[in-house]
């Protein structure tokens, strides 16, 4: 299944025995456990291993995707972080590309500094967004156990929207938790917390001041060794500030909030971090970039856009760059995502300005 690079020095039964021992060591261990390795993954990996050519098997190892570029990946292995490319077999199938958080089987080559990803192991959760006019889904993060939905007691606080995120997280297979950050912005955070609790009974609700670290201990409790958490929420709610507080260092860039209280989309890429004391954390860009996949939700989202469009300056506004466009303003504010607007354009047959030559209109 993989393009093998046979190593000429592995022919005697003595070295075969050594290889078997080496394999056994690489597919177990505290380092992998800390990255979220499980018994189910181990079983699946053994099947991949057995299906590989015998001369390739010793060069295979399990790894977790910690960064995704254009055709290239950052992988965490039991040894540390390494760069990787896709093996030829994987490039042919666009549906099986690795995403952030995936566990993969990778091959170490003698003649390349980069590992080759040869298989993606089964995902236990998948966080997806709607693409192609809401008609198909694109997985953007895999194997996240807990999603911390971050909001603040200011203009961002929108209970129905938070409720949709809770539903989307449930649909992904992960556990949602609600996090009220910037508690310093209100004299009494209790009414906000009460609303969050009423929204989703049984879902943990945390109060936090990410700048001072007040309430951080409770959030830390949601992170345990081997558990992967992800932060979602509008731009500027403090996801990266919280990330840095949890890591105890300035790892993620944070951005000032504009006078209108809105963020600037400081974080542009998904990044996976190891939290000291246990746990893994994905810091996501602001919600402009995370349109969650929700089959029942598509129609409602379109209704929402039509409602917002009532405030556009021009009655026949196409929301593709006209002045005074309320829809594009809503996207900038993170009220609706760019993906939702794209879906709207695709369904209406109007081109989004960034993709003029996109697919033909659906009717």
Ligand X SMILES: Nc1nc2c(ncn2[C@@H]2O[C@H](COP(=O)(O)OP(=O)(O)OP(=O)(O)O)[C@@H](O)[C@H]2O)c(=O)[nH]1
By C-beta, is 106 or 257 nearer to ligand X?
257
**Residues of the shown chain interacting with Zn ion in the complex, contacts defined by CB under 5 A:** 312, 317, 319, 325, 327
Residue 327 binds which of Zn ion, ligand X, Mg ion, none (CB < 5-8 A, kind-dependent)? Zn ion
Pick the binder of ligand X from 197, 265, 329, 348 (CB under 6 A).
265
CB of 4 to ligand X, least distance (A): 43
- Do the bridges between strand 205-207 and strand 175-180 make them parallel or antiparallel, or are there none, so unpaired? parallel
Rounded to whole angstroms, the Cα distance separating 80 from 115 reads 12
Residue of 58, 62, 133, 236 interacting with ligand X (CB under 6 A): 236
- Give the separation between CA 165 and CA 335, rounded to whole angstroms: 12
Q: Which two tokens stand for residue 105?
A: 């089987």
Q: From the list Mg ion, ligand X, Zn ion, none, which binds 281 (C-beta under 5 to 8 Å, kind-based)?
A: none
CB of 253 to ligand X, least distance (A): 7
Contacts to ligand X from residues 180-219, by CB under 6 A: 181-182, 184-185, 209-211
Using CA atoms, how far apart are residues 48 and 44, in angstroms rounded to an integer? 7
Name the binder of 141 from Mg ion, Zn ion, ligand X, none, CB < 5-8 A by kind.
none
Q: CB of 231: closest distance to ligand X in angstroms?
A: 8
Q: Cα separation of 228 and 76, whole Å?
A: 14
Contacts of 39 (CB under 8 A, 6+ apart): none
Does position 240 interact with Mg ion (CB under 5 A)? The reply is yes
* 271 counts as binding Mg ion under rule CB under 5 A: no
Residue 21 in tokens? 């021992």
Q: 106 or 237, CB closer to ligand X?
A: 237
Cβ partners under 8 Å of residue 279, min gap 6: 223, 224, 225, 226, 227, 228, 229
**Distance between CA atoms of residues 47 and 39, nearest Å:** 13
3-state secondary structure of 207: strand
Closer by beta carbon to Mg ion, 133 or else 233? 233
**DSSP labels for 33-94?**
HHTT--HHHHHHHHHHHHHS-TTTGGGEEEEEEEEE-SSEEEEEETTEEEEEEE-HHHHT-G
**Under the criterion CB under 5 A, does residue 244 sit at the interface with Mg ion?**
no
For tokens 């895999």, name the residue.
142
Pairing of strands 136-142, 146-151: unpaired
Please report, as residue ranges, which positions from 283 to 322 form the binding site for ligand X (by CB under 6 A): 285-286
22 binds, among Mg ion, ligand X, Zn ion, none (CB under 5 to 8 A by kind): none
- The least CB distance from residue 243 to ligand X, in Å, is 7
In this chain, which of 12, 50, 160, 256 binds ligand X, going by CB under 6 A? 256
Cβ proximity to ligand X: between 148 and 223 the closer is 148
- C-beta closer to ligand X: residue 250 or 311: 250
333 touching ligand X, by CB under 6 A: no
CB 226 to Zn ion: min, Å = 47
CA atoms of 270 and 59, how far apart (whole Å) = 29
Out of 118, 125, 175, 267, the residue judged to bind Mg ion by CB under 5 A: 267
CA-to-CA dists, residue 345 to 131, 157, 313, 362, angstroms:
12, 27, 18, 10
- With CB under 6 A as the rule, give the number of residues binding ligand X: 25
> Which residues make up the interface to ligand X (CB under 6 A)?
181-182, 184-185, 209-211, 235-241, 254-257, 263-267, 285-286
> Which residues make up the interface to Mg ion (CB under 5 A)?
239-240, 266-267
């Amino acid at each position: 299944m993989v393009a093998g690079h046979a190593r000429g020095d592995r022919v005697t039964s003595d070295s075969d025995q050594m290889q078997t021992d080496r394999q056994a060591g690489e597919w177990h261990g505290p380092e992998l456990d800390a990255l979220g390795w499980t018994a189910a993954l181990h079983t699946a990996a053994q099947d991949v291993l057995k299906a590989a050519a015998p001369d390739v098997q010793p060069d295979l190892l399990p790894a977790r995707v910690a960064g995704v570029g254009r055709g290239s990946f950052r992988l965490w292995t039991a040894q540390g972080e390494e760069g990787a490319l896709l093996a030829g077999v994987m490039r042919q199938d666009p549906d099986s590309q690795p995403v952030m958080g995936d566990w993969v089987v990778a091959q170490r080559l003698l003649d390349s500094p980069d590992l080759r990803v040869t298989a993606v192991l089964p995902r236990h959760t998948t966080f997806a967004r709607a693409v192609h006019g809401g008609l198909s889904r694109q997985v953007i993060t895999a194997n996240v156990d807990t999603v911390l939905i971050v909001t603040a007691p200011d203009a961002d606080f929108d209970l129905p929207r938070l409720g949709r995120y809770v539903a989307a997280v449930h649909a992904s297979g992960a556990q949602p938790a609600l996090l009220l950050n910037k508690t310093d912005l209100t004299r009494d955070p209790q009414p906000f917390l009460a609303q969050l609790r009423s929204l989703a009974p049984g879902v943990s609700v945390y109060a936090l001041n990410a700048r001072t670290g007040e309430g951080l201990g409770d959030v830390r409790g949601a992170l345990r060794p081997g558990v992967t958490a992800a932060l979602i929420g509008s731009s500027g709610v403090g996801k990266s500030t919280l990330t840095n507080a949890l890591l105890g260092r300035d790892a993620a860039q944070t951005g000032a909030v504009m006078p209108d209280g809105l963020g600037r989309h400081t974080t542009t890429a998904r990044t996976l971090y190891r939290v000291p004391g246990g746990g893994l954390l994905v810091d996501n860009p602001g919600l402009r970039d995370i349109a969650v996949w929700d089959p029942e939700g598509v129609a409602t989202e379109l209704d929402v856009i039509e409602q917002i469009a009532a405030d556009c300056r021009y009655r026949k506004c196409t929301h593709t760059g006209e002045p005074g466009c309320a829809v594009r303003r809503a996207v900038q504010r993170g009220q609706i995502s760019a993906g939702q607007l794209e879906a709207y354009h695709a369904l209406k047959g109007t081109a989004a300005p960034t993709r003029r030559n996109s697919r033909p209109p659906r009717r």
